[in-house]
Structure 1
Amino acid sequence: MAEAGISANRLELLQIADAVAREKSIEKDVVIAAMEDAIQKAAKSRYGSENEIRAQVDPKTGEIRLERLLEVTDDVTMEATQISLEDARRRNPEAQIGDFIAEELPPLDFGRVAAQNAKQVIVQKVRDAERERQFEEYKDRVGTIVNGIVKRVEYGNVIVDLGRAEAIVRRDETLPRENFRYGDRIRAYVYDVRREQRGPQIFLSRTHPEFMAKLFAQEVPEVYDGIVTIKSVARDPGSRAKIAVISRDQSIDPVGACVGMRGSRVQAVVNELQGEKIDIIQWSEDAATFIVNALAPAEVVKVVLDEDAERIEVVVPDAQLSLAIGRKGQNVRLASQLTGWDIDIMTEANESERRQAEFAERSQMFMEALDVDEVIAQLLASEGFSSIEEVAFVEENEIASIDGFDDDTASEIQTRASEYLERVEQEMTAKRKELGVDDALAEVDGVTTPMLVAFGENDVKTVEDLADCATDDLTGWNERKDGETTHFDGILEGFNVSKQDAENMILAARVKAGWIEEEPEPEPEEEAEAEGEDETEASEDESGDTPADDADTDTADA
């Protein structure tokens, strides 16, 4: 009878392990390992925590085996965990120093407290295994769409049952005027999975731009197959969105593919997003063309690009201004997010006024710097001269060719321009020295005297100070947040210095400071060898005996 009772208990143990593994969707081995840990903890409590006890559960029979491990050593200091070599060899003649001897312990009779502790250990281990399984399963699903059922709503946050895990759609990740109730089906985008103390947290979003891209992939076979690519998405969730698409197959219109027959495909996405209006735009590698497309339905008359600052000025007809900007700036804001460029919108009248102001400003500058009358200053400005340096260093005949000018006038104007620049140079040099800027900094390639003054005003006074700068420190940088771009001025703001120019200055300063070595120029021998190879290739081409030539001849004959 006793043996039958023990067998029943063993069978029950395995049945429990099977049931827990199925319910929690984890491996049975994990449950049995948790049971072994629990039995081990109970045995330590029974026999003393100083003992090194190992518990094993046979996964086939359910038999529990308890053993105490003793380390074989020369000097026994802890009888509970160590055994001498002499005693160990009585049990196992082949025992060596450092080995472990397993001493079997009698079966453990669980008391109420021990059973409760064992239960807690098993529950905790199983919960940890379940959390790890959830994390491993969903961490690879970031960037995909999942379907679930609303479990509850807490302070606007929607808790979603995904079947094998729970996820959350935070209030700011739901669409405006969107209400969910218990039992509603919900579709959302997995944008983050984090390991946290209370278990893996799966964050879903219905406002993420990629949610719209994935919806189009589900509705448009060409997007799913990769024939049509979604290059970028900009959304004002629940209100309006713009999506840029391009096709790698010339015979397929990407915009038409996304719209579908009578708008069926785009309408399916619109319905999922609670009526969010979607502008589908043809993507273009040419920034100006792309930006003009992105501002649709507004018409654009002219664009002026500043590639270094990624800023573009767009001129629209006066009647199109409100359409280009959109309600509360929505259209231009979405176009800016879609293209990654800062967009300045102005009317033709505004542009004309600005051009007149710039013309007047340049004319005034020439009048003051060159000591000429208004007519001459305006002639220089109208010919496209924008600085005194241009006037001083341009070919003299370019100035002489202006209507009303002759060689003597051109020579006199250039002389005055050079004298003005010399005066400015002297003033700047005095100011630079007053600021304490080292003379060595002036020897760095690309650095001018006005730049030295700007450096001094920003505490860059030595070659080492310049070498320690980053490119953005000199040219400035842009930070994009919530669709708005903020520009931070650099030390050389207004000097028309590109990022490449700034990088070259910093590298030159680091070489001069001895921080890095200057890259050696190619040796003349290598260049000569390269030239020799070129000549050899040229001679082969002339002989007409090369395989390439034969192929060309065959093609031509065909």
Structure 2
Amino acid sequence: MAITSANQLELLQTAEAVAREKMIDPSLVIEAMEESLARAAKSRYGADLDIRVSIDRKTGKATFTRVRTVVEDDEVENEKAELTVEQAKPYLDDPKVGDVIVDEVPPVEMGRIAAQSAKQVILQKVREAERDRQYEEFKDRAGTIINGTVKREEYGNVIVDIGRGEGILRRNEKIGREAYRNGDRIRCYIKDVRRETRGPQVFLSRTAPEFMAELFKMEVPEIYDGIIEIKAVARDPGSRAKIAVISYDNGIDPVGACVGMRGSRVQAVVNELQGEKIDIIPWSEDMPTFLVNALQPAEVTKVVLDEDAERIEVVVPDEQLSLAIGRRGQNVRLASQLTGLDIDILTEEEESKRRQAEFEERTKLFMDTLDLDEFFAQLLVAEGFTSLEEVAYVELDELLVIDGVDEATAEELQARARDYLEEQNKKALEKARELGVEDSLVEFDGLTPQMLVALGEDGVKTLEDFATCADWELAGGWTTINGERVKDEGLLEAFDVSLEEAQNMVMTARLQLGWVTIEELEAQAAAEAAEAEGDAETEEARA
């Protein structure tokens, strides 16, 4: 087939038809045609030649040209497409490196094989353009709800027609044992859109917490308008869910607005989620208060929050334990997801037994170390004293409030406590030296003899060893592995050394050794502060 005037217009008509069918830009189809014709020309004139084809967008005329580039004398790699400045002089008046020589060549006759190859190039380009269009259309719709029609089911995954493309609803993203037939209408949440070799993949979900949040946004105008905000969602898809909401208008009850008149709003969401029961609770900045709300309908007697460990301890009446935990641990699990904290639930009886055990342990400590009778030791514990250090170094007035304790008795108590602690420190220091702990670490400010023993037993024996430690290695911390929080034991964690204190000690050691300078630390702190400020501004802009 030759590109003659007889079929020039047909090229444009074909491009227009393909573009309309695939809903892509006609120029993309023409560019694919130009590339396919250029390939055919190279097979005729030689693969080393730089043959280019240009199709006039108005007339459909195809122009074939040979392009040669002027390069340096020692950079000629392809003599058919490149030439030196000297070789270019017959073609150009004043040739320079980078100039190009364009010569028109006769159109080619396309045989059967060349025509088939051209067709494949065009189809490939059209497919790529179609994929790009689909990706551009759906990438900005991630995080929204879309309506579609079930096309087919493959190995438990549902393929959904979502207009100008297809989405996939994986089996683990379906609610319970949902079953769909071809042609069924379905509403899904666009969880992710990825550009892959086989084309853009639109991943749908009906189990994502965000799906529920978006459904409420559709049903509750106050949420759509920003008067009410959904702060957290936790779901056991198809069974139960908890959603925390807050109102920025004192005149609007966030829970009541989400429930609606006679439960109409929440019921619409429940129906979409196959009968999933939904607890709507008020959100609070005070975490213990929020947790009490999250554990509803169970009653909570006491809450103890450990912010460092991101754990919270809840005490409930004995008869409320099963309700607080829920069927198969569902209630406490959802409350944990909602608050982002690990929750330990104790009954009042269990907590009472634990408190009694702690009371007895501390009583025995004071009896053994201070040579006190049981009654006097119990008085100290009852007044809130938990360690010898508190007794030894507390203000004298705090001991005098104990019944039967006068100034002389208080001074004697403190003297006994200090003598015992000094003896323990002396023994610990001797043990640390036996372990090989050097004076450079012994004389480091902030480390007690007992800490030195703990460090020495782990091989940290010099100031250099100490300076190489990470703050979490000393203070301990938590690491999330496969979605579960795992405890990292710290060398000095038993001595209540915080992460910030550990970091300060390590930095001080590095300063003393000359590994860093104060100027470097100040510059680093300034950079971190600037980065934190930038992150805060970004979050504020997003909000």
Q: Do the structures match in fold with TM over 0.5?
A: yes
Of 22, 28, 32, 1:30 maps to: 28
TM-score by length of 1: 0.87
Q: 1:410 to 1:240 in 2, by over 3 A?
A: same
State the partner residue of 1:49: 47
- Deviation for aligned residue 1:177: 1.5
Asked if 1:269 is matched to 2:269, the reply is yes
**Counterpart residue type for residue 52 of structure 1:** D
CA distance in 2, matches of 1:476, 1:482: 19
User: Counterparts in 2 of 1:167-316, with a 5 A limit?
Assistant: 167-316=167-316
Q: Percent identity?
A: 62
> What is the alpha-carbon distance in structure 2 between the residues aligned to residue 441 and residue 32 of structure 1?
76
User: Is 1:393 aligned to residue 393 of structure 2?
Assistant: yes
Please provide the CA RMSD for this pair: 2.5
Q: Residues 439 and 145 (structure 1 numbering): CA distance in 2 closer, same or farther, change over 3 Å?
A: farther
Amino acid at match of 1:172: N
Of stretches 300-309 and 452-461 in structure 1, the one that deviates more from structure 2 is: 452-461
Task: Give, in angstroms, the shift of residue 48 of structure 1.
Answer: 0.8
Change (3 A) 1:458 1:51: same
The range that moved more, 182-191 or 316-325, is 182-191
Residue 9 of structure 1: how far off its partner (Å): 1.4
Cα separation, 2, equivalents of 1:498 and 1:480: 19
Deviations 1:238-273 (A, max 9, x none): 111111110111111111111111111111111111
Q: Distance in 2 between matches of 1:297 and 1:77?
A: 79
How far apart in 1 are the matches of 2:72 and 2:307? 78
- What SS class does the counterpart of residue 455 from structure 1 fall into? helix
Q: Does 1:134 align with 2:145?
A: no
- 2:479/2:485 contact within 8 Å kept: yes
Aligned twin of 2:63: 65
Contact kept, 8 Å, 2:52 with 2:64, in 1: the verdict is yes
Alignment of 1:88-103 (within 5 A): 88=88, 90-93=90-93, 95-103=95-103
CA distance in 2, matches of 1:101, 1:125: 28
Is the contact between residue 229 and residue 246 of structure 1 (CA under 8 Å) also seen in structure 2?
A: yes
Return the letter of the residue paired with 2:505. Answer: M
The amino acid of 1:310's aligned partner reads E
Q: Does structure 1 retain, via aligned residues, the 8 Å contact 2:36–2:119?
A: yes
Do the aligned residues in 1 keep the contact of 2:315 with 2:346 (CA within 8 Å)? yes
Q: Per-residue CA shift, 1:193-247, capped at 9, x if unaligned?
A: 2222222222111111111111111111111111111111111111111111101
Give the equivalent residue in structure 2 for 1:509: 509
1:532 alignment partner in structure 2: none
Cα distance, 1:479–1:73 mapped onto 2, change above 3 Å: closer
The SS at the match of 2:186 is strand
1: CA distance between counterparts of 2:396 and 2:172?
65
The match for 2:9 is 11
Distance 1:384 1:29, change over 3 A: same
1:525 corresponding residue in structure 2: none
Tell me the distance in 2 between the aligned counterparts of 1:301 and 1:81: 85
- Aligned partners of 2:476 and 2:499 also within 8 Å: no
Amino acid at match of 1:419: D
Rounded to whole Å, the distance in 2 between the matches of 1:141 and 1:457 is 57
**Larger mean Cα displacement after TM superposition, 16-25 or 336-345:** 16-25
SS, match of residue 494 in structure 1:
helix
Residue 80 of structure 1, CA deviation: 1.9
Q: Report the CA distance between 1:484 and its aligned residue.
A: 5.0
Alignment-derived partner of residue 476 in structure 2 = 476
C-alpha displacement of 1:7: 3.6
Q: CA deviation at 1:90?
A: 4.7
Provide the C-alpha distance between the structure 1 equivalents of 2:483 and 2:346, rounded to a whole number of angstroms.
20
CA 174–441 in structure 1, closer or farther in 2 if over 3 Å, else same:
farther
Determine the C-alpha separation between the residues in 2 that align with 1:74 and 1:480: 59
| TM-aligned CA deviation for residue 430 of structure 1 | 2.3
Per-residue CA deviation, residues 447-484 of structure 1 (Å, 9 max, x unaligned), is 32222222233333333443333333233333456775
Cα deviations by residue, 1:486-513 (Å, 9 ceiling, x for unpaired): 3332222332222322232232233223
1:337–1:483 contact (8 Å) kept in structure 2: no
Alignment-mate amino acid for residue 32 of structure 2: A
Return the alpha-carbon distance in structure 1 between the equivalents of residues 188 and 392 of structure 2: 64
| Cα distance change on mapping 1:493 and 1:180 into 2, 3 Å | farther
- Contact 1:446/1:505 (<8 A) preserved: yes
Equivalent residue letter for 2:166: E
Kept in 2, the 8 Å contact 1:235–1:334? The answer is yes
Say if 1:484 and 1:321 are closer, same or farther in 2 by CA, change over 3 A.
Answer: farther
Is the contact between residue 333 and residue 483 of structure 1 (CA under 8 Å) also seen in structure 2?
Answer: no
Whether 1:349 aligns to 2:336 is no
The alpha-carbon distance between structure 1 residues 359 and 28, as it changes in their structure 2 partners (threshold 3 A), is same
> How far has the Cα of 1:19 moved from its partner?
1.9
Shift of 1:520: 11
Alignment-derived partner of residue 525 in structure 2: none
| Partner AA of 1:29 in structure 2 | S
3-state SS of 2:309 partner: coil
Write the distance in 2 (CA, Å) between the matches of 1:443 and 1:136. Answer: 64
Letter in 1 for 2:323: L
Q: Which residue of 2 aligns with 1:425?
A: 425
Query: Could you tell me whether the CA contact under 8 Å between 2:173 and 2:208 is conserved in 1?
Result: yes
The structural deviation recorded for 1:86 is: 6.7
Structure 2 alignment gaps of length 5 or more: 523-543
- The aligned amino acid for 1:407 is E
Residue 84 and residue 480 in structure 1: after superposition, are their counterparts in 2 closer, same or farther (change >3 A)? closer
Aligned pair in 2 of structure 1 residues 192, 491: CA closer, same or farther (>3 Å)? farther
Amino acid at match of 1:475: A
Q: Which residue of 2 aligns with 1:550?
A: none
In structure 2, the residue matched to 1:555 is none
The alpha carbon displacement at 1:124 in A equals: 1.5
Aligned partners of 1:305, 1:40: CA distance in 2, in Å?
A: 72
Count of residue pairs the alignment pairs up: 520
User: Could you tell me whether the CA contact under 8 Å between 1:149 and 1:183 is conserved in 2?
Assistant: yes
Given that 1:141 and 1:190 are in contact with CA atoms closer than 8 Å, whether structure 2 keeps it comes out as: yes
Partner of 2:409: 409
Distance 1:73 1:174, change over 3 A: closer
Q: Is the Cα–Cα contact under 8 Å of residues 303 and 314 in structure 2 kept in the other structure?
A: yes
Amino acid in structure 2 at the alignment position of 1:385: F
Secondary structure at the counterpart of residue 108 of structure 1: coil
Residue 549 of structure 1: aligned partner: none
Cα deviation, residue 416, structure 1: 1.5
Pair 182,390 (structure 1): closer, same or farther in 2 beyond 3 Å: same
Cα distance in 2, alignment partners of residues 262 and 315 from structure 1: 34
- Work out whether residues 308 and 499 of structure 1, in 8 Å CA contact, stay in contact via their aligned partners in 2: no
